Amino acid sequence: MKKKFLATLMVAAMSASLLVGCGGKEEAASTPAKEDAAAEDTAMEDAAADDTAKEDAAADTSEAAEKLTVWCWDPAFNIYAMETAATYYQKDHPNVEVEVVETAWDDLQPMITNAASTGATDQLPDILLMQDNAFQKNAISYPDLFMDLTDSGIDFSQFAAGKLGYSTVGGKNMGIPFDNGATIACYRTDILEQAGYTIDDLTDITWSRFEEISSDVQAKTGYYLLSERTGEADLIMMMLQSAGASLFDDIGAPQIANNEALKEVVTTFNSLVKNNAVLLTQQNWDEYIKSFNSGSAAGVINGCWIMGSIQAAADQSGKWAMTNMPKLDNVANATNYSNNGGSSWAVTTNCKNPDLAIDFLNSTFCGSVDFYGEILPSSGAIATWAPAAEADVYGEPSEFFSGDAVFKKVVDFATKTPSNNTGVYYYEARNAVTTALTNIFNGGDIDAELANAQATVEQQMQ
């Protein structure tokens, strides 16, 4: 009986257990222990949902902060370079987006002016490209629009001093130099040979010696060694900068009258034209290019970007050579190096993430030999950042330019170029000097015409 009673108890216990495990869910959920466990699970789920929402919000904020907007022009040159820089930076920073907006310089300058005059600085991008000759004008006129990068960690000493001077205002580095505008002198070696000269005869020379050689070559072959456009002052400005001189002093006041270096430049240029050393008949850019591609000029002196136009005459490959420009005879600080053209990057004070913008620029335009090596063949964008010359492509010989490593040579020229103070009224002063030069050609007195140019600029400044 005892065994039978125990068996009955065990069966009853097992039945109760089965009821609780299978059919007694409501009864089990109603126990205090189960209620506490369920509440804890719900709290954990809510906390997890909150964490996910916070992570999503942080991701959205991070994504917004990791975007840079850039304004620049020329798809094949500046835009290509910036987009390539973005690709390089994204290798180590895959979450960073660089949006490049094509903006012509003729549009960009008015947009800068409008932002300053209306206070709508939030319309500006994080980074923008600025023409070198307009950089000081904008940085001085609108000092609240651009970041001072002097203490940003960028090593500005690695850039050519002449190039760096354009974006340096009051001793502060307001921009990052980009493309090289170093002046080069290129000549047809076959024409030189006909007259009994080589490229060495035109290397490290003075303008008086150039005048002798060019006049002789013209007499013997009918070719001039230099052509210039009527009414343009490109060569005048290059000659002036080669001596470390400017149209303005350190505080931005015009120094045109009584500027001995400028007077030497004007006197020299006038002599070149009168003695058949320069062809001065071109009225527009196309005629200027034609003059040395298929015309009567066997030489070019201009910014290094002119190489592309020279090479447009493919049938002349191997017949050109490059060297430095002549220097002024009677100026103490004269050199054989100058600059014409180029641009620099500026970080606006509207930049949402200045640390990111600076790191991006410092890692690419200020710090990557490989980057500069990649953009050179396709765009012809020669660096003013000296270490870029270490890229293999810079040392490669150019078949067109008689097998010379011309890219490396241009970087070297840039490091030797004196700086130039453009001031706020650079273009006004340049135009005034151009007018003075025309009047001097027509018999005007040099001192009087330069004094008139000075008065014109002073009046415009007032």
Where do the domains of the chain lie, and which CATH numbers do they carry?
66-180+341-411 (3.40.190.10), 183-338+425-461 (3.40.190.10)
* Cβ contact 118:110 at 8 Å: no
Can you tell me which residue has the tokens 């222990």?
33
pLDDT of residue 414: 93
pLDDT of residue 462: 87
Can you tell me which residue has the tokens 């840079």?
68
* Cβ contact 278:226 at 8 Å: yes
pLDDT of residue 282: 66
Low-confidence spans in the chain with pLDDT less than 50? 1-40, 43-44, 47-49, 52-64
Question: The whole model's pTM is what?
Answer: 0.79
Helix (H) or strand (E) holding 266: helix 260-274
pLDDT of residue 12: 37
pLDDT of residue 65: 52
- Name which of 282, 284, 266 is nearest 274 in CA terms: 266
pLDDT of residue 285: 86
Give 33: exposed, middle or buried? Use CB within 10 Å, 0-12, 13-18, 19+.
exposed
Q: Where are the alpha helices (DSSP H) in 142-198?
A: 161-164, 189-195
Return the amino acid letter for 202.
L
The dihedral formed by the CA atoms of 110, 172, 381 and 391, expressed in degrees to the nearest 10:
-160
**Per the structure block, which two tokens stand in for 70?**
């850039």
The model's pLDDT over 87-121, given as tens digits with 9 standing for 90+, comes to: 999 999 999 999 999 999 999 999 999 999 999 99
**Per the structure block, which two tokens stand in for 45?**
């789920």
B/e letters for 213-248, b = 16+ CB within 10 Å, e = fewer, are bbbbbbeebebbbbbbbeebbbbbbbbbbbbbbbbb
pLDDT of residue 28: 35
pLDDT of residue 348: 98
276: phi > 0 → left, psi -120 to 50 → alpha, else beta; which?
A: left
The dihedral formed by the CA atoms of 232, 237, 238 and 242, expressed in degrees to the nearest 10:
160
pLDDT of residue 45: 52
Q: Where are the beta strands (DSSP E) in 196-309?
A: 227-229, 279-282, 299-303
pLDDT of residue 30: 41
Enter the DSSP assignment of 176: E
Return the amino acid letter for 194.
Q
Give 402: exposed, middle or buried? Use CB within 10 Å, 0-12, 13-18, 19+.
middle
